[in-house]
Chains A and B, each alone.
Chain A
Amino acid sequence: MSGETVGTRGLVFNEPLIFEQGSPGRVGYSLPTSGVREVKPDRLIPKKLLRDDIPGFPEVSEVDVVRHFTRMSQWNYGIDLGFYPLGSCTMKYNPRLNEDMARLPGFARAHPYQPEAVSQGALQLLWELEQYLAEICGMDRVSLQPSAGAHGELTGIMLIRAYHISKGNPRKKILIPDSAHGTNPASSAVCGYQVVSVKSGPRGVVEPQAVAEVMDEEVAGIMVTNPNTLGIFEDHILEIAKIVHGKGGQVYCDGANLNAFVGIARPGDMGIDVIQLNVHKTFSTPHGGGGPGAGPVAMKRHLAPFMPVPTVEKKGKEFTLNYKLPKSIGKVRSFYGSFGVLVRAYTYIRTLGPTGLRRAAEVAVINANYILSRLKGTYHLPYDRFCMHECVFDDALQVPDNVKTLDIAKRLMDYGFHPPTIYFPLIVHGALMIEPTETESKETLDQFIAAMKAIAKEAKENGDLVRGAPHNPRVSRMDETKAARQPNLRWRPKASGS
């Protein structure tokens, strides 16, 4: 290992739970003045319906709070700090302009039930965003209501089910490739469908014959991911769609990987009937440690009658909320969707425009193939072909030295990188899924490649170093067995006294 690595050590703090801090009487807040009579609560509400103090809530100053969270933030890795090559997560840079726009008082301080007449700006934004996403996907309508990708999948399957019910038979089964993300079968099950697994072919894609074998009139549809979770374009998609449509089924696409071909191809032109997008992936909204996201669902017009209510319509120059959709599936959440997240997506799309969005896809694919070609031979490539926006390696060349994917991932942390996605998709044993995205420079990619090559060398010459990783972060590998056998999911106040 020559030269300076990206990762190093620094001044990091210990920070106990907030419950172990503070003291009686410390104040962290400032509330508006009362100005009304200080009536005793039990004069307004029966005493038996009132509580005593809230046990275990802290009493800390504002300074304590700021230090508490600032110190904890230092223990996190984020895109702002470095490369985050998580496959299928599209960890691209989160533009700060998007944050400013979402915080504008006209958005942040607007109540969803305020009159439409004084909400025209918000409704216009939603309407325009729907138009952009419909165009990007090659679809007719888009519901902006779902709050995450999985929520969008659920909504999409509900739409398919409603469609089949309108034709007299909800049907019983959904076909799902074995490479699919876990949310796909889970969403189908929530809709009461039985999952039929379709094995991927030797080239890593779904073969039409495999679909034809299981397609019948009790199959409501197929859920494909394109590009799939191996980062490969499902090049039989048109034929597969034909087979499914031929028996009256619908084609659902998990759009998590859309970053591979925005502006280059459109799901609606591939025989796909309905697709969810992940705006916290393709459209740059920040991941926030696990949300909020949004999962708009784009669909062909034959599914539009079943859309969740309300939809946003334009009548002349006015924008309105339409609740009159008699065949609607209903609602999948309160109000209209994660509006603040959608503002960010809107801002991003207007920032890039058609040229920028296309370039983003092109560079995302170039970056991924660059990593693939430079690491080929050092790591085993289960499918030796060009990839799209992400590439999948496995640990077959390291296992003989008793170093596994998990160890490689943990050692990458010492080099200053967040590990790629590991052990997914399940069809590749010991998978390492790397998605660089287009917001990374060639220099960063070269640093990552150098680190991966160094680790491969360490695996041969100094396996313990890799197996004992990570060494630099504040904590080492966690005892996940203990966490599951003896669940400790909350702090508990002491029984009496303090």
Chain B
Amino acid sequence: MYPADLKYTKEHEWIRVEGGKGRVGITHHAQSALGDVVFVELPKVGRRLKQMETFGVVESVKAVSDLYCPASGEVVEVNTALEGKPELVNQDCYGAGWMIVVKVADPKELNKLMDAKAYEAYLAAEGGH
């Protein structure tokens, strides 16, 4: 449920770093808590984000959640497939349901994030909230 090669934020985003770039999405826990995702609001390519700055919004029928960027950087790719098929976030949150790719400005920032084990422990402590 929580792939070992990813890093996680307290707001339930994940980041997969490949080369100098980080692919970002939301975790299984987040998509399950939201329910059916109906809309994802994403930034434009070129936008510069700071770590934990909000980059967009994910909506289900009855709830709205801000999306926080796990690492500072410039947005280089945006998953336009989510426009027509927001359900990809529910179906494949670590794969086809990815949201943005950022050019990671400072790899040291990633140390502030949790690894898979720490994230699972964090979820357990939160009490499945």
Contacts and interface: CB of A to CB of B under 8 A. Distances in A.
Contact of A480 (B39, B59, B61, B86): B61
Contacts of A485: 36, 38-39, 86-87
A249 B118 CA distance: 44
Nearest to B35: A481
A483 B39 CA distance: 12
A423 B63 CA distance: 12
Interface in B74-120: 86-87
Nearest to A423: B62
Interface residues of A, number: 6
B118 to A, nearest CB: 26
B34 to A, nearest CB: 11
B68 to A, nearest CB: 19
Contacts of A484: 38-39, 59, 61
B128 to A, nearest CB: 11
A26 B35 CA distance: 48
B58 to A, nearest CB: 12
Nearest to A429: B129
Interface secondary structure of B, over-half rule: loop
Interface string A475-489: 000001101110000
Contacts of A480: 61-62
Interface in B1-60: 35-36, 38-39, 59
Instruction: Point out which of B39, B61, B86, B87 has the most chain A C-beta atoms below 10 A from its C-beta.
Output: B61
Contacts of B38: 481, 484-485
17 contacts: A423-B62, A480-B61, A480-B62, A481-B35, A481-B36, A481-B38, A481-B61, A483-B61, A484-B38, A484-B39, A484-B59, A484-B61, A485-B36, A485-B38, A485-B39, A485-B86, A485-B87
Given A423-B62, A480-B62, A485-B39, 6 more contacts: A481-B36, A481-B38, A483-B61, A484-B38, A484-B61, A485-B86
Nearest to B39: A484
Interface residues of B, number: 9
Nearest to A406: B62
Instruction: Point out which of A423, A481, A483 has the most chain B C-beta atoms below 10 A from its C-beta.
Output: A481
Interface string A231-270: 0000000000000000000000000000000000000000
Contacts of B87: 485
A489 to B, nearest CB: 14
Contacts of A481: 35-36, 38, 61
A484 B39 CA distance: 8
Interface string A328-361: 0000000000000000000000000000000000
A112 B39 CA distance: 44
Contacts of B62: 423, 480
A23 B38 CA distance: 39
Interface string A420-443: 000100000000000000000000
Interface in A154-199: none
A483 B59 CA distance: 13
A421 to B, nearest CB: 14
Interface in A462-498: 480-481, 483-485
Contacts of B36: 481, 485
Instruction: Point out which of A423, A480, A483, A484 has the most chain B C-beta atoms below 10 A from its C-beta.
Output: A484
A404 to B, nearest CB: 12
A352 to B, nearest CB: 38
Nearest to B84: A485
A480 B36 CA distance: 9
Complex A-B, nearest 9 residue pairs according to Cβ-Cβ distance, in ascending order:
A484-B38, A481-B36, A480-B61, A485-B38, A484-B61, A481-B61, A481-B38, A485-B86, A484-B39
Interface string A42-73: 00000000000000000000000000000000
Nearest to B61: A480
B99 to A, nearest CB: 17
Contacts of A423: 62
A480 B59 CA distance: 13
A294 B83 CA distance: 39
A485 B59 CA distance: 10
A181 to B, nearest CB: 16
A51 B36 CA distance: 43
A123 B35 CA distance: 52
A106 to B, nearest CB: 46
A423 B86 CA distance: 25
A402 B84 CA distance: 33
A480 B37 CA distance: 11
A423 B61 CA distance: 14
A485 B83 CA distance: 9
A481 B85 CA distance: 12
A67 B97 CA distance: 48
A480 B38 CA distance: 10
Contacts of B86: 485
B83 to A, nearest CB: 11
A497 B36 CA distance: 39
A232 B77 CA distance: 50
Contacts of B61: 480-481, 483-484
Nearest to A480: B61
Nearest to B86: A485
A484 B59 CA distance: 10
A166 B35 CA distance: 48
A425 to B, nearest CB: 15
Contacts of B59: 484
Contacts of A483: 61
A485 B35 CA distance: 13
Interface in A90-125: none
A423 B35 CA distance: 15
